[in-house]
Amino acid sequence: MKVEILAALLPAPEVLFLDEPTLGLDVAMQKRIRGFVADYAREEGATILLTSHYMADVTALCERVIVIHRGSLLFDGDLTELSDRFGAEKTITVSVTGEVPDLSCYGQVREASPAKATLTVPRAEEAAAVAARLLADLDVLDLHHRGPADRRRHREDLRLR
């Protein structure tokens, strides 16, 4: 795989087609190949067209993502938008009047303090139902939910401070 990538780069292409470039490589070599390809694209101004089932390849190398399922275009856009739309879970943070009761029946409790709790719940559709139940069952002061991309942006904001 490494030799094939090097051979493809010898003519210094402006467009590089990569089909599962890290398939069969160990984790350390996968990371090195991703870094090498990203550096090449940045330094040479090359466009990389990548097909991969490995999300690590996609997140490291792609600004735009196209998902094709059974011959039909399922998604075309930013990786953050893909994560928001198809992410497996949402995070709900709820602040209540008084003591937070046991919320394990609503989802997986990630953090809890006397008046605030953070839950992880499956998919966006279920997150809306859980939020509605929390609002109906508790004396809620504040409630908000985030998807995977929101959590990533929050971590990036914290690093910038």
pLDDT tens, residue by residue, 81-112: 887 677 778 889 999 998 899 999 999 999 99
Whether 2-62 shares its CATH topology with 88-160 is answered: no
Q: Where are the domains of the chain?
A: 2-62, 88-160
Regarding the domain delimited by 88-160, which CATH topology (the fold level of the hierarchy) does it fall under?
Alpha-Beta Plaits (3.30.70)
Instruction: Using DSSP bridges, classify how beta strands 89-96 and 108-112 pair: parallel, antiparallel or unpaired.
Output: unpaired
**Contact yes or no for 86/69 (Cβ under 8 A):** no
pLDDT band at 156; cut points 50, 70, 90: very low
Verdict on whether the full-model pTM lies above 0.85: no
Type of residue found at 31: K
Q: Which fold has domain 2-62?
A: Rossmann fold (3.40.50)
